[in-house]
Amino acid sequence: MNAGQDSLGFGLGLRSEYYQAILEQRPAIDWFEIVSENYLVEGGKALYFLDAIGEHYPLVMHGVSLSIGGPHELDRDYLRRLKHLAQRVQPAWISDHLCWSRGNAHQLHDLLPLPYTEESLQHVAARVRQVQDVIERPLVLENVSSYLRCADDQFSEWQFLSALSELSGCELLLDVNNVYVSARNHGFDAWEFISSLPKQRIRQLHLAGHSDYGSYLIDTHDHPVSDPVWQLYQRTLQHLGPVSTLLERDDHFPDLDELLGELNKARLLAAETLQGGAQCA
């Protein structure tokens, strides 16, 4: 898989706050990413808007509750409903997070980091293969932002992601903001993380805002993308070439025009960066 050849362009996370405006204005957005769990129902307003918007834009499914690294059995009912939604939506791909988010019985509603050990690697790889057998396509996994690390880690996060992709056949969703947040929180080099991943396995990029508390950052998705993240995004594109880019906003929702302006900034930065790279080549 060559990421650049598969690029959908520049997309926006689909949120209910913008349903009506999207249908009325048909804004210049190349694609939308949906939160899968919002549509695992039969009927209702959410599915009505999903179908209507899907008639005009490509869609990608992005989950938040797979808990691929958890100790529990995989939720087969959830996977069946996910596959059923995919049959309806015909997404370009299906993604979730490299994390665990539930115990044996309860969803914790958080994306918690894994221990990066050989045992954990084999556990997650086996579960990825099980998921892929059900959804009948590669699973795309996103790096999460983190605020603590396990004392017995045997791999860096980027080494773990690279090995997992090789073992399981999964693809990667590189969240540039999450890399920056975790790098600041843990003191590692954000560029070492990005440049060490297998380029051919990176299917998508995420951009989002965070909250800066001085000595640590929190991935809140309620601010515009920060200047350091824009700079890291440009360097990432220089390294990867064109990759499908998605802007996320999950709180403090501005007018759609403001988000479109931010998405257009990504588009212009990408054009400038990639054109400059082509001239250098």
Rounded to 5 degrees, what are φ and ψ at 112?
-100, 140
**Residue 105 scores a pLDDT above 60:** no
> Which of 69, 98, 97, 95 is closest to 82 using CA atoms?
95
For the cut 80, the answer to whether the pLDDT of residue 64 exceeds it is: yes
Q: Residue 4: pLDDT above 60?
A: no
Query: Which of 69-73, 237-241, 246-250, 256-260 has the weakest average pLDDT?
Result: 69-73
**pLDDT tens-digit profile of 122-133?**
999 999 999 999
Identify the structural domains of the chain with CATH numbers, from first to last: 10-274 (3.20.20.150)
Other Cβ atoms less than 10 A from the Cβ of 130: the count is 16
Name the packing angle between helices 256-280 and 227-240 (round to 10°).
40
Return the pLDDT at 257.
97
Q: For residue 64, what are its two tokens?
A: 């938040």
Mean per-residue pLDDT over the chain, rounded:
93
Instruction: Give dist(CA 185, CA 144) in Å, integer.
Output: 13
Which residues does residue 142 pair with via DSSP β-bridges, in sequence order? 97, 173
* Residue 13 pLDDT exceeds 70: yes
pLDDT digits (tens, 9 = 90+) for 216-255: 999 999 999 999 999 999 999 999 999 999 999 999 999 9
CA atoms of 278 and 281, how far apart (whole Å): 5
Confidence check: pLDDT of 281 > 70: no
Q: CA 136 from chain center: how many Å?
A: 19
Q: H/E/C letters for each residue in the chain?
A: CCCHHHCCCEEEECCHHHHHHHHHHCCCCCEEEEEHHHHCCCCCHHHHHHHHHHCCCCEEEECCCCCCCCCCCCCHHHHHHHHHHHHHHCCCCEEEECCEEECCCCEEEEEECCCCCHHHHHHHHHHHHHHHHHHCCCEEEECCCCCCCCCCCCCCHHHHHHHHHHHHCCEEEEEHHHHHHHHHHHCCCHHHHHHHCCHHHEEEEEECCCEECCCCEECCCCCCCCHHHHHHHHHHHHHHCCCEEEECCCCCCCCHHHHHHHHHHHHHHHHHHHHHHHHHC
6: confidence class by pLDDT, cuts 50, 70, 90: confident
Cβ distance 176 to 237 under 8 Å? no
